[in-house]
Amino acid sequence: MEIENHKEEVPFEHYLDKFHTLDPKEAAQRLNILYDENAKKFQLRFLGHLYEVEYPDFHVTVLDKPQEDMEKDLLMTSLPAQTFIMRYLLEGQYIASSGKFMTFREVPTYGELYIQPFTGRCIKRLTYGFGYKLKAFSEAMEKIPGCEKIDMGDVAYEFELVNGYRMRFFFWEGDEEFPPSAQILYSDNFQFGFHAEDMVVAGDLSITTVKMLCV
């Protein structure tokens, strides 16, 4: 794969070296995902779509999109998205959610520590990107397989980020006195399965996907 952005190349290459030494069977068991020993491929879901990830080369293929859509697929084309999934395979662990959700700030230990980058990269980006475009936001969210409209705020959706880890985006509409505002919630198992920076990236990648679906 040709890498053009050298700022993104450094972490990608760092984790790729680690990925080459991963025990794939241990990773599959730890994450509760499938690994085909004969084909040497993981199978996982990301934002509603099914993917294969080859080991040890980390070649990503989406299995349920037409050929013409593959060139625009985030996980197949974005180094930050691929680095996120690589870190998930290397360091993540699956713990079932209780069904409850939490804000980023409510995450024990590091919620307060990382709240500033989370607010800038996720909350403000979501608010400014869609706060006055809620119809376009809704239409984009409904293109994500398995995404569900829920009763929160004025407009809200729940979706699965990756196997068993769910997120919620919701808005309060603005008026003449107050601007629109947004919030992001994470299923309560995120705090056990992901580091703080990965939760920020999860929000960032999800917003990027919604923006891509608006086109």
Comparing CA positions, the residue from 194, 214, 58 lying closest to residue 130 is: 214
209 with 81: CB under 8 angstroms?
A: no
Q: What's the pTM value of the predicted model, to 2 decimals?
A: 0.92
Separation of alpha carbons 49 and 70, rounded Å: 12
Q: Any bridge partners for residue 45, and if so which?
A: 50
Look at residue 7 and tell me whether its pLDDT is greater than 70. no
Separation of alpha carbons 7 and 189, rounded Å: 30
Average pLDDT, the chain: 92
AA letter at 38: N
187 with 165: CB under 8 angstroms?
A: yes
List pLDDT tens digits, range 128-149. Answer: 999 999 999 999 999 999 999 9
The whole-number pLDDT of residue 9 equals 61
Look at residue 215 and tell me whether its pLDDT is greater than 90. no
Residues 147-172: what's their mean pLDDT?
97
The whole-number pLDDT of residue 4 equals 41
Phi, psi of 150 (to 5 degrees): -130, 165
Eight-class DSSP state of 199? H
Separation of alpha carbons 210 and 197, rounded Å: 20
Token reading at 35: 């690994």
Q: How crowded is residue 101: how many other Cβ atoms within 10 Å of its Cβ?
A: 18
pLDDT band at residue 10, thresholds of 50, 70 and 90?
A: low
Separation of alpha carbons 128 and 125, rounded Å: 5
70 with 76: CB under 8 angstroms?
A: yes
**Distance from CA of residue 62 to its chain's centroid?**
15
Q: Are strands 41-46 and 49-54 parallel, antiparallel or unpaired?
A: antiparallel
